Amino acid sequence: PVIDVEEIEGVGRVTAQKLREAGYNTARDVAFASVKELAEILGSEDRAKQIIAAAQKLIGLTPFITAYELYEKRRGIRRISTGVKSLDELLGGGIETKAITELVGEFGSGKTQLCHQLSVMVQLPEDKGGLKAKALYVDTENTFRPERIMQMAKYRGLDPQEALKNILYARAYNSDHQMMIIEESKKIIEKENIGLIVIDSLVAHFRSEYPGRENLAERQQKLNHHIAQLLRIADIYNVAVVVTNQVVAQPDVFFGNPLKPAGGNVIAHGATYRVWLRKGKENVRIAKIFDSPYHPEREVTFRITEEGVVD
């Protein structure tokens, strides 16, 4: 947001006028000015220092960023807002490109709704939390609903039909087909300006095609290959990848959570961020990040309404 110079603490109408005449229109301009430059305009070095400090405080400029933030900057990571403040806060600003974000939860916990919403959010301009880009939606369970996209798009100020045109949809009929779609996607990501790839669900086909212990090794090997392929695409093309995962019961757990994400170690190691969703009362849902070195273990709530996924 643009903050006018007059909102800086200690800057009255007269000082603001002097600053504007010298080309300093916003708090940001002043925050990055040198003391010498401003002292010439204001006639005092002390006053210049004081106003620069106030401007820096106003725009939230601090001398330190975390090494992780630096790392992100260097890697050119971009973020897509979920459209939900609490969720964005939990994720450190939204979902990241060059990463796989896994949404895991029981039936009805909101995984598919969030996938729909992100397919809309990615289309928004950057100052509204999007990437002004398209989404590629891989649907394995036939739960994608264009009508739902239209509702969400309308609420976010997008033309509903345009929003639909900016989502490339593929129905995956089995795990091989799913992997082939992702392989093929490489050819269109740049040409179509894809910013987000959704796979809802990542694991369903693999689990139904390779049931039981006797198929476990083969299934995990294939899944591993698929996830490695997704990570590579996310990294090379600077896109966000969002996948959904189911939970399974752990029969041998007597204390703590009896549910665990499906897909075992392969997904645990492959997913960059893991978000656990569960149902609260009525339309309330609860989200928590687990297994992340960068995020605190804390829970936030959001709601699913006619407008989409909201605070």
Pairing of strands 134-139, 167-171: parallel
Which x/- pattern over 105-144 shows residues binding ligand ADP (rule: CB under 6 A)?
A: x-xxxxxxx-------------------------------
Q: Which of 112, 178, 245, 246 binds Mg ion (CB under 5 A)?
A: 112
Half-sphere exposure of 305 (CA within 13 A, CB side): 8
Q: Does position 311 bind ligand ADP by CB under 6 A?
A: no
| Contacts made by residues 22-27, CB under 8 angstroms, sequence distance 24+ | 26/2, 27/3, 27/55, 27/58, 27/59
What is the dihedral angle through the alpha carbons of 185, 191, 192, 197, rounded to the nearest 10 degrees? 30
In this chain, which stretch among 121-129, 212-220, 264-272, 301-309 interacts with ligand ADP, using CB under 6 A? Answer: 301-309
CB 111, min distance to Mg ion, A: 5
Give the residue with the Cβ less far from ligand ADP, 48 or 203: 203
- CA-closest candidate to residue 158, choices 193, 133, 138: 133
Residue list 88-107, contact with ligand ADP (CB under 6 A): 105, 107
* 16 token code pair: 């603001």
Show the site string, 66-105: x = touches Mg ion by CB under 5 A, - = not: ----------------------------------------
Per the listing, tokens 């060059």 go with 98
Instruction: Report in angstroms how near the CB of residue 214 gets to Mg ion at its nearest.
Output: 28
CB of 279 to ligand ADP, least distance (A): 7
Q: Which of residues 129-158 bind Mg ion (CB under 5 A)?
A: 143
Q: Where are the alpha helices (DSSP H) in 59-128?
A: 67-75, 85-91, 111-121
Instruction: Round to whole Å and give the CA distance between 210 and 127.
Output: 44
Interface residues toward Mg ion, by CB under 5 A: 111-112, 143
Interface residues toward ligand ADP, by CB under 6 A: 105, 107-113, 304-306
